[in-house]
A and B are shown apart, each in its own frame.
Chain A
Amino acid sequence: MATAESVYRPSTPALSAPAALGSAGGIVTEILWVAYRSLRKLSRSPFLLFFTLMMPIIWLGMFSQTFGTVFDRAASGPGQAPLAYNYIAVLLPGIAVMSAIQSAAQSGFSMVSDIETGFMDKFLVAPISRASVLLGKTLADGVRMAAQTAIVLAIAFLFCVAFGWKIPFATGVAGDAMIVVLTAAFGVAFAGLSNSVALFTKRTETTMLVSFTLTFPLLFLSTAMLPYDLLPGWVQTFSKYNPVSYVATASRTLILTGWNWTEIGQAFLAVAIVAVLLYSLAVFAFRRQTA
């Protein structure tokens, strides 16, 4: 830097900017910019992006191959006609919700990383709502989850065409879109947990541990992997209180039989309850940290 005058010569008038600042900037704008930043980051990590999108396909292949024959035997009793669809059709919504839960469990990592790098302070000194930071981040995760679900549905459809997998897709593209929305909505709601843990502990390890510990019981003690009728008694009881069940069941019906608005309504209600509980916790955690 040569002389002082060449160092700093503002061309934009100093008073123009704050005038605009005073206008009521909507919380929506804030959320969108925070989300944009998260997605930009994701796009800069090609490996992360690749495995994020491929993960559900790996799940799908693994589970369908391992449990497929067992399911066929269990679902069609002796003397009954073979089912009109493969286990994969039953499993598909389960895999979608499982991937969403996995992504939700990791959602808090970026919170911890922003705290550690000091970037969080940039958000906190800006005149934006704390909730915008939280919602922007989880919205970006929601976009990721929606992409995961859409991809796994598309791949499953391609396999139907290419390898003769039997998946009814009873409600077509509109039903698939509903599954994408429902799954991503649940994932975003559940991300409130990992963000709460992240804000309380400020540690990636703890966040990972708590989220993953809860992930598997939530999945397996639900109707995500098997329909309600095939679950053991006590798991049936638990699954009735497990929000994952409502999302999985509603999605499954969309694939196997058709539109069931009662199930869809119940699923969204379950999502809303989870969201309200976990986001209250997360917002409390956020406030507590800056006390």
Chain B
Amino acid sequence: MSAALAAARSSGTPAEPMIDVTGLVKVYGGNGDDAGAGVVRAVDGIDFHVDRGEFFGFLGPNGSGKTTTIKILTTLLRPTGGTVRVGGLDVVRDPREVRKMLGYAGQSIGVDGDLTGRENLRLIGHLYHLPGSVVRDRVEELLEVLQLTEAADRPAGTYSGGMRRRLDLGSGLVHHPPLLFLDEPTTGLDPQTRNAVWEYLRALHRTERMTIFLTTQYMEEADQLCQRLAIMDHGRIVAAGSPPELKAGIGADLITIRLPQDEGFEASRARALALAQGVPDVSGVVEFDQGVTMRAGHGGATLVEVLRRLEADRIRVNEVAVAPPTLDQVFLQHTGREMRVEEVRPTSSGPWARHRRD
């Protein structure tokens, strides 16, 4: 085992992060490739790091540069500029050593439909030069864990989308990598399968102490899984931090107060509006068809104060709600746009794709 690989595995070296990216730039079409297409800065100078054992995510819409970044980190693409170190090694100078320590499951599921599930996994094991007996044991174990044992001898082409996704995930795990890259691992899956994959990833992260780098365009996925995440837009990181930190950065919970729809509704609503505006910590009070909404730094405490004042003024309240800020609001605040999920299934990936940026 190389020293770097050994270092990558030992959990007791907190000094160097697992992934360390500085000034990363990727330009497509700048060197005569694909003449006619304009020069595209898919990744436009990003810096970030991922600690050992961390579950880290890139959140962003299609075309934001997530996939380009993951392809560079996994040595599938060469960066145009900047430095990328994975497990203490430079991905450009030492790609072979970097490859040994990473597992990867791409956006377009890299499963061979002609081979059975078992054959798919075994092939990968052999490509990593694992001894035959280790490959056999490990593959059986993964088939069981991924609930594919029954289907193991069927060609993978007959699998459902969820099964193919699980098999693909398995092929990224055959060699026990200390670092796992997942490019939109649940895109195109139904909610139930998505939950199962999440559950599995959490377990993997916890029991194997694996460092996991994931890209997603689902807010909920990032929120549920990632300890820390970076929000990407147009090739740049517009915000980074843990989901609670990012939401706290918005600085406000959303308070909604619904009033009874009786003859006094209009008057009550106007008074409620005026009262709420007088409460410290409240901002952005607006009327809507059922009552008023406002933002508050400390939703719970502020709500109690608002309700106390309403009661003192004998305004009857029908219903109240406090919602913490969501990542949607975080994205909106940092980009000025709402994030829309586009369910586009790419047929090609990474270095091979023509003009795809993400």
Contacts and interface: CB of A to CB of B under 8 A. Distances in A.
A18 B5 contact: yes
Contacts of B110: 117-122
Interface string B129-155: 111001001100100010100000001
Given A30-B127, A120-B352, A290-B78, A21 B112 contact: no
Contacts of A66: none
Interface string B204-219: 1011100000000000
A123 to B, nearest CB: 7
B84 to A, nearest CB: 15
Given A121-B349, A127-B100, A17 B176 contact: yes
Interface in B103-123: 104, 106-115, 119, 123
Contact of A125 (B75, B134, B352): B75
Nearest to B99: A127
Contacts of B176: 10, 12, 14-15, 17-18
Interface stretch (A39-47, A72-80, A88-96, A164-172): A39-47
Nearest to A119: B110
Contacts of A291: 77-78, 351
A4 B123 contact: no
B171 interface: yes
Nearest to A128: B127
Given A21-B100, A116-B348, A127-B99, A33 B141 contact: no
A84 interface: no
Contacts of B128: 17, 21, 126-127
A22 B3 CA distance: 10
B124 A122 contact: yes
Contacts of A44: 114-115, 155
B127 A202 contact: no
A82 B24 CA distance: 77
A41 B208 CA distance: 34
Interface string B55-88: 0000000000000000000111110000000000
Contacts of A19: 1
Contacts, number: 158
A22 B76 contact: no
A262 interface: no
Contacts of B78: 290-291
Interface string A119-143: 1111111111000000000000000
Nearest to B354: A202
Contacts of A17: 128, 130, 134, 138, 175-176
A210 B74 CA distance: 33
B313 interface: no
A240 interface: no
A22 B130 contact: no
A14 B134 contact: no
Contact of A127 (B96, B106, B115, B352): B96
B102 interface: yes
Interface of A: 1, 4-5, 7-12, 14-23, 25, 29-30, 33-34, 36-37, 40-41, 44-45, 115-128, 202, 289-291
Interface of B: 1-2, 5, 9, 74-78, 96-97, 99-102, 104, 106-115, 119, 123-124, 126-131, 134, 137-138, 141, 145, 147, 155, 171, 175-176, 196, 199-200, 202-204, 206-208, 347-352, 354
27 contacts: A1-B147, A7-B145, A8-B145, A8-B200, A10-B207, A12-B176, A15-B9, A18-B100, A21-B1, A29-B126, A29-B129, A37-B115, A40-B115, A44-B155, A45-B114, A116-B348, A116-B352, A117-B108, A117-B112, A118-B349, A119-B111, A119-B112, A121-B108, A123-B127, A127-B97, A128-B127, A290-B77
In the A-B complex, the 5 residue pairs with the closest CB atoms: A25-B129, A118-B108, A118-B110, A22-B1, A8-B203
